Structure 1
């Protein structure tokens, strides 16, 4: 199990979750997979203690901090939770963490489905602490793919093996994409690391994936739960609580949101790029300038695709413009690549220069970092600038963004 720490544990019992996962060690000798710790997937209303991506399933692990150690916990999803016979309630009258559990897990399931990630079963482990000797769950809840337990290495391992039950394993390529879908920051593990964690080798390596756009949900404060006596007298106030309860698989899975009305986000190497317009034309020279325009006037070009995107790097908003030109053959493509790569030789006009900007975007792509490639009869030109402030062609961060932008769709 490879651990990737993305944030602090949102519950006190989250420390026990991390400790249990770390005992399994790196590699697939015990179980394998990748655990995203302290992650808050886009559109999920709260941070989660862990999301574990396994070869045959995804486990959402969330923590419930009880006021004291318990011998017995009754934990129905749709009813009153009781700790050693005492009702567990909250100041606003809530009697079970299940409502927030369902909300959080449905958000994770929707995220995977809407992003067209690998269709693995999404199930949930509710980690309770500081200690619970015995947990009572209704059979119907168990059948929905939910386990409430005190997180020890053995109990977590048993739950993972019971819940991850997909018929076919998730490949290295699909695992990398799934991790990128769930973690909005960082870069997925390498293919070598994923193979070491038991994911089978993919047939083909795809570096980009078209994804429906999502907006980050605001982080909510976590509710406090109190155990009450039968007469309703509060005994203690506990720390914040987060629970996610899975919809399981099959007919219980969250419905897939329609993507036809949504704009898209494209993920490259774990970085999300939000599109802000695209264009296709057969008149390549009309949208070029300098030596590039002169070259296009003397050589055939059948199609020009252009697109522009917004992303974030080093805490700053940046914009990238991508253009792809279809020329007669590989020889001419290499000629055009050499012309477009030369400093001061001109280039392709970005859409923002033609009045297709967006709120918060750059006024132009002047002084951008530029990268150009030629493959067969296609030439791709990528530019990157900061949305605000000064840009420079030698800016290392912008140069890296331009390199990534070469793999973005141009149309």
Structure 2
């Protein structure tokens, strides 16, 4: 494992994380790859203790500082964590550090995808320190790309091996471009990356390639016979085509004058995030943001126009409960403006962007609106995403844990045209 230090650790447990990863040693005999410490990739909601770039995957590592060593940590993704039986209270950020890890991984994945880099899976490890005797995660959460572990070499190594499972190793050249996304000054040579398990070339290994679908050419007697009968086969094909056309004409003549059948109802596009299905019900794209916003946010847009506004409302179900999700994507001229809007939209009582339901774009049995909604705001470069969630058939609250978790998932939805 090659170590690159880009900045100071954002948490106290970060020093333990660095020591644990350093113990793997250089080269690929243990795991290989490159670990960048103290970096904040584009779009990341918070600084990361480490980003581990492996030949078969990328892992973001977040540290969580506990006030004291813990005997047991219950770490579900849906609800707040419990430390030795007491709720882990958070005054800011996601519902729990696990969701924060998913958010950081998703942000890095989007950043890599937007640059056309190798589609390596991006997962997350949350390291709880200074000590956690036992960490419990629901089985279903383990399939969502997050591991919660103690700050020791064995635990972090095992989690990284479980999460880096891409079908083929990332070659040296894409790995170099990926590292430059983490820090433009992060330069490692071909030899250094090759020593860490990244293949020099992306060529397919023909010794392991499946060639069962590649037919071997032989001039078999049956093939020769087929060529002799080709003219007759062509005549049969022409006759069959003429018959089909004749049947079509007759069918049109028989149905002439009958009313046309109504087209089938449109099936809403479906997206999935963490195993939950979201059906996109309505969508709209606009070039102006001021006329579709209110409060301080509207006044901000009047002084700093946006480039584009994309809005959509999704219908979903979580644990048998119906919910609606409003997704707003604002594209701004630069990252500075996006940072200003993110802070303004995330503050209480500053207004916001009007959802499509409030503008009359509802549907039968849809939500009445997004009053008392839970909200999540995320910046990715010059884009800001604002997600609001409400229950459809029951009262909602901005502090509802289930709605806040749903809003975090909504940050990974992309409205379709």
TM-score (norm 1): 0.49
Structure richer in strand, relative to its length: 1
Higher relative contact order (CA 8 A, sep 6+): 1
